[in-house]
């Protein structure tokens, strides 16, 4: 029993305790235990194959005897058991355990032998920033955190120091305090493969003089040594595969620009900080993810062929590269970045003997998607496309990643130190494929038809697959939160939102009823989601606590890739706003494809 003080002399009392098995779980237990009080390992095996869709083959045989022993040990904390089967409560505990019964596959299972450009790659933007884009500290700490999360592309902006004799990492022409390049390189070396063995790409935004480029090259070579992948041919026709590049570091950079010094650094930064209301986070957990918008904001207007020359993230022309002397620095570049002169349509032309990287801002991508959608897809079948956030996102918020993925962009670069719904989608996408940071692009983005045609994102598609989701019950808040966290006078009133992020035709969000005064809400509600492009769809789940007088309280979220979902009844762990997993908060859900 829990009690809440309402006034000095009166307490309201509410029941609390452990989640009980939903009716459907009781019926399943009864069916597979054949009416008995216990379920044997053999009966559990039948349930796992028939309801959960688990494969029981010679290679990955289901050791249900071991499963039963582990469940009993975890639940009853006794090492030796006379009993070797499960009660209803044990069975429910097993189903509601994120450790025993997770919602998605946990191993790398995709083909990792295709060229690197055939994969979506977990990509960071300004990876060295601890906070906002204008005045936060630069540090190696956010780089380390990103690598531990599985991020595979790290971005460093490199500039000369004030005496022009060393290289610093900082966000140029802002008030960010710098960090030494060598410190960042050493941390990347130490932590690069903590979460995944697949290659780490360092994208350099280079503002160095040629002598400092030579110094940076020396630092990179001495730090990484044999880990560096340096191609023999600068016009590498095909980048090797993630499998071939395991435990390797790759450098990707554009042709060097002259170091540009801005006299009005302080004034520009302070002015932008004051105007951060232009940022896109509308509430404390980030604005709602909606359809891909075609309407442009006032600050986004302009010709998509102008290439946003004033943007630090943008690429310079290849011609500038040739004016610099051949250098050790140039030899290190594994993925060449650069934007040929002329229109964006020209820039998207595929060259037979060359693989390159092109960068576009989020607005430039949206504009290009309007008229050059198939050009983008044709380009990304061989070359790399990197998308980066617009400059007005000073609080390190993020844009919608789906428009990039729909057009085959491998490097959808995100501010990993920000948070909000768009970052949750990024986390969700890269839970795929054993969280290794590389997700194979769907075949439809790579296919070329008999008449040289490619996928057109504007085509109206038929429903390919329908997902049925049932949300039974939630638990764990009473363990992870203080009794008065949501409401000072009574237990919380939870509701869940369940929906899809994906191509515009698939986007939707639905809501359960609110369960009042209960730490263990039982919803038992089912939702159906028809999907035209399930390969790019993410299941979004959020729980909120209803508040009559103020904004509803956030109580957890997750995003799960539809292609990775395991069928049947599963325990779904929830995460906080920053994407950190709660210790105990989870939902019991059921997934079926029809």
Query: CB–CB of 377/116 below 8 Å?
Result: no
Is residue 125 among the annotated active site residues?
yes
Indicate the pLDDT class of residue 260, thresholds 50, 70 and 90.
Answer: very low
Percent composition of the chain: helix, strand, coil (DSSP 3-state, to 5): 30, 25, 45
How many Å apart are CA 384 and CA 120, to the nearest integer?
10
CA distances from 345 to 334, 339, 370, 372 (A): 24, 11, 12, 7
Quote the radius of gyration of the chain (alpha carbons, Å): 26
**Closest C-alpha among 567, 504, 509 to residue 536:** 504
DSSP 220-242: HHHHHGGGB---SSTT-SS---T
What secondary structure does DSSP assign to 497-545, as a single string? EEEEESSGGG-EEEEPPPBPS-SS-EEEEEEEEEES-GGG-EEEEEEEE
Report residue 275's pLDDT band, with 50, 70 and 90 as the boundaries: low
Q: Is 568 helix (H, G, I), strand (E, B) or coil?
A: strand
Six-digit token string for 93: 């505990």
Return left, alpha or beta for 509; rule: phi > 0 is left, psi -120 to 50 is alpha, else beta: beta
How remote is the C-alpha of 133 from its chain's centroid? Answer: 20
Query: For this structure, is 336 an active site residue?
Result: no
Residue among 413, 426, 393 nearest 205 (CA): 413
Residue of 92, 93, 118, 171 marked catalytic:
171
- What's the pLDDT at 235? 57
The pLDDT of residue 361: 95
Q: If you average pLDDT over residues 126-139, what whole number do you get?
A: 96
Strands 581-593 and 568-575: antiparallel
Structure tokens belonging to residue 165: 């004799």
Alpha helices in 400-472 (DSSP H): 402-406, 421-429, 443-446
Taken in order 514, 516, 518, 519, is the CA torsion positive or negative? positive
pLDDT at 415: 96
Q: How far is CA 31 from the centre of its chain?
A: 39
Categorize the per-residue pLDDT at 81 as very low, low, confident or very high, splitting at 50, 70 and 90.
low
Distance CA 288, CA 139 (A): 31
Phi and psi at 274, nearest 5°, equal: -65, -30
Q: What is the pLDDT of residues 461-513, one digit of tens each?
A: 999 999 999 999 999 999 999 999 999 889 999 999 999 999 999 999 999 99
Mean pLDDT of 242-256: 90
| Tens digits of residue pLDDT in 18-57 | 789 999 999 999 999 999 999 999 999 999 999 999 987 7
Q: What is the mean pLDDT of the chain?
A: 87
Say how far apart CA 459 and CA 463 lie, in whole Å: 13
Of the pLDDT bands very low, low, confident and very high (cuts 50, 70, 90), residue 320 is very low
Structural domains in the chain, CATH included, are 2-104+462-593 (2.60.40.150), 119-256+326-445 (3.20.20.190)
Predicted local distance difference test score (pLDDT) of residue 305? 33
Q: What is the mean pLDDT of residues 64-83?
A: 84
H helices, E strands: number in the chain: 17, 22
Yes or no: say if 519 and 477 are a contact pair by the CB < 8 Å rule: yes
pLDDT of residue 278: 45
Report whether pLDDT(294) > 60: no
Q: Which residues lie across from 154 on neighbouring strands?
A: 202
Question: Can you tell me the mean pLDDT for 77-105?
Answer: 90
pLDDT digits (tens, 9 = 90+) for 155-213: 999 999 999 999 999 999 899 999 999 999 999 999 999 999 999 999 999 999 989 99
How much is the average pLDDT of 297-309?
Answer: 35
| Residue 498: closest CA among 506, 489, 490, 508 | 508
Distance CA 95, CA 77 (A): 18
Q: Which of 148, 145, 219, 235 is nearest to 185 (CA)?
A: 219
Q: Is 232 exposed, middle or buried (0-12, 13-18, 19+ CB in 10 A)?
A: exposed
Of 125, 407, 427, 544, catalytic: 125
Q: At what angle do helices 88-95 and 64-76 cross, to 10 degrees?
A: 100
316: left (phi over 0), alpha (psi -120 to 50) or beta: beta
Phi-psi region of 167 (alpha: psi -120 to 50; beta: other; left: phi over 0): beta
Task: State pLDDT tens for residues 432-464.
Answer: 999 999 999 999 999 999 999 999 999 999 999
Q: What is the DSSP letter of 421?
A: H
Q: Are 47 and 32 in contact (CB under 8 A)?
A: yes
| Residue 167 near residue 159 (C-beta atoms within 8 A) | yes
Give Cα separations from 12 to 2, 189, 476, 493 (angstroms): 8, 57, 22, 15
> Exposed e or buried b for every residue in 316-337, given b needs 16+ CB within 10 A?
bbbeebeeeeeeebbebbbbbb
Would you say residue 261 has pLDDT above 90? no
Better-scored residue on pLDDT, 260 or 495: 495
pLDDT in tens, 516-552: 999 999 999 999 999 999 999 999 999 999 998 789 9
């Amino acid at each position: 029993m829990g009690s809440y003080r309402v006034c000095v002399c009166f307490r309201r009392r509410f029941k609390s305790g452990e989640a009980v098995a939903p009716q459907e779980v009781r019926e399943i237990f009864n069916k597979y235990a054949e009416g008995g009080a216990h379920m044997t390992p053999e009966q559990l095996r039948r349930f796992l194959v028939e309801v959960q869709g688990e494969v029981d083959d010679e290679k990955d045989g289901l050791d249900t005897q071991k499963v039963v022993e582990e469940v009993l040990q975890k639940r009853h904390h006794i090492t030796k058991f006379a009993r070797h089967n499960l009660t209803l409560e044990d069975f429910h505990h097993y189903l509601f355990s994120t450790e025993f019964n997770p919602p998605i596959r946990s191993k790398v299972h995709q083909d990792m032998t295709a060229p690197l450009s055939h994969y979506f790659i977990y990509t960071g933007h300004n990876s060295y920033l601890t906070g906002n884009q204008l005045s936060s500290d630069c540090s190696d700490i956010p780089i380390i955190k990103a690598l531990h999360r599985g991020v595979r592309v790290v971005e460093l902006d490199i500039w000369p120091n004030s005496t022009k004799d060393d290289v610093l990492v900082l966000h140029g022409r802002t008030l960010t305090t710098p960090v030494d390049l060598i410190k960042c390189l050493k941390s990347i070396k130490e932590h690069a493969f903590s979460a995944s063995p697949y290659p780490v790409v360092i994208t350099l935004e280079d503002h160095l003089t040629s002598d400092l480029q030579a110094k940076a090259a020396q630092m990179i070579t001495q730090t990484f040594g044999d880990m560096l992948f340096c191609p023999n041919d600068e016009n590498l026709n095909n980048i090797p595969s993630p499998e071939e590049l395991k435990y390797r570091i790759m450098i990707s950079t554009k042709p060097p620009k002259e170091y540009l010094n801005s006299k009005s650094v302080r004034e520009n930064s302070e002015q932008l900080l004051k105007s951060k209301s232009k940022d896109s986070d509308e509430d404390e957990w980030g604005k709602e993810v909606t359809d891909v918008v075609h309407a442009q904001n006032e600050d986004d207007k302009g010709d998509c062929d102008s290439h946003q020359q004033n943007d630090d993230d943008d690429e310079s022309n290849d011609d500038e590269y040739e004016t610099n002397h051949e250098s050790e620095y140039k030899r290190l570049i594994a993925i060449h970045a650069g934007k040929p002169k002329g229109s964006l349509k020209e820039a998207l032309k595929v060259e037979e003997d060359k693989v390159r990287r092109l960068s576009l801002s989020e607005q430039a991508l949206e504009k290009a998607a309007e008229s050059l959608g198939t050009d983008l897809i044709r380009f990304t079948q061989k070359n790399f496309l990197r998308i980066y956030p617009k400059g007005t996102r000073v609080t390190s918020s993020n844009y919608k990643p789906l428009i990039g993925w729909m057009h085959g962009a491998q490097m959808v670069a995100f501010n990993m130190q920000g948070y909000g719904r768009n970052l949750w989608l990024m986390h969700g996408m890269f839970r795929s494929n054993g969280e290794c940071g590389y997700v194979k692009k769907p075949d439809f983005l790579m296919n070329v038809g008999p008449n040289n045609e490619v996928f057109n994102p504007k085509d109206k598609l038929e429903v390919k697959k329908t997902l049925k989701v049932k949300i039974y019950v939630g638990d764990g808040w009473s363990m992870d939160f203080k009794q008065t966290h949501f409401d000072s006078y009574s237990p919380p009133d939870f509701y869940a939102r369940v929906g899809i992020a994906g191509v515009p035709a698939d986007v939707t969000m639905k809501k359960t009823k609110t369960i009042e005064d209960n730490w263990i809400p039982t919803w038992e509600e089912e939702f159906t989601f028809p999907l035209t492009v399930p390969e790019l769809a993410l299941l979004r789940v959020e729980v909120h606590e209803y508040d009559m007088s103020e904004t509803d309280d956030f109580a957890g979220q997750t995003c799960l890739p539809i292609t990775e979902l395991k069928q049947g009844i599963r325990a779904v762990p929830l995460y906080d706003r920053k994407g950190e997993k709660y210790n105990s908060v989870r939902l019991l859900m059921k997934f079926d494809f029809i």
